[in-house]
Structure formats: C-alpha cells, structure tokens
Amino acid sequence: MTRTILEFCREVLGIEPTAAQALLLNALSMCQLVVAACGRRSGKSLMAAIWASYDATMRDLSEYLRPAEVRYVVLVAASLPQARALFRTLKGLFGAPMLAPYIISETADELWLANNVIIKVVPCSSRTARGLAIRDEN
C-alpha cells in the first residue's frame, strides 16, 4: 500500500506532527531541495528521522541502481554526539511494529534493511558519505 508521508507518520509511526512539521514533511515529499529555518527544539531530528524511515521503506528507487547495488539514505548531523542522538531517534522509529521486520542488521551508525537500503547517520564531513549510492532527486 502506498502511503503519503503524513499517513506514514500517523498510521505506521503513531506520530501526529504539528502543523509546521506537517508542512515540512509535505515539502520534503514534493521538492528536491527544501530549506527550513527551524528553531531549537522544533523537531528537526525527528522530522529527519521520519523522512529517512519513510524514504527507506516506502519509496522504491531500485530502477536507479545497478543490479544488487545497495541504496543509501544518509542523514548528516553537525557533530558526532548529535549524529549518535539522531541515530537513536531513527532506531526508535524502527521499533514500530510495521518497521521492525525491515531491520536485518545494524552497526553504531547504520541500519541495514531487508529491501537493500542502508540508512546511515554521519557527522558533518566532506568524506563521510563519499562514493555512496545516494539518490538526490524525488
């Protein structure tokens, strides 16, 4: 079943986003580039984790990959402690009954999913995501 990002948020994760968060999530689903000016404690990490989990599980982008190539969904945090916190948020979302079966393996910064997608959380650096099969279009 194909779900919109807001249906995924509500039905799969059990999260009711605020009006501003819903606007951001909808923008992420419709635009290739989204710039959001968000204040402290506005839910930036949660929104990034929701989008990453949606992108990794609900969107089939295999037509853009070579046979057997792994697709990466990469989240970038400002620092290593923030990357670890973001990974914990992401991992918490995969505790949802509909998402838990996707996880086949995990490391300190990656979730390997059964659909040949890896979600990786990295600290900000020009080298951390270099060479990965990351699709940057909707």
The percent of residues in the chain predicted with pLDDT above 90, rounded, is 63
Query: pLDDT value at position 131?
Result: 56
Segments making up each domain of the chain, as ranges? 5-123
Give the sheet arrangement for strand 103-106, strand by strand. Answer: 71-77, 117-123, 110-113, 103-106
Mean per-residue pLDDT, 7-13: 96
Determine the residue type at 94: F
Positions of E strands within 1-138: 71-77, 103-106, 110-113, 117-123
Which CATH class, in words, describes the domain spanning 5-123? Answer: alpha beta
pTM of the model: 0.85
Angle at 136 between CA 97 and CA 31, to 5 degrees: 80
Q: What are φ and ψ of residue 40, in 5° steps?
A: -65, 140
Query: pLDDT value at position 138?
Result: 44
pLDDT, tens digit (0-9, with 9 covering 90-100), for 44-95? 899 999 999 999 999 888 888 888 889 999 999 988 899 999 999 999 999 9
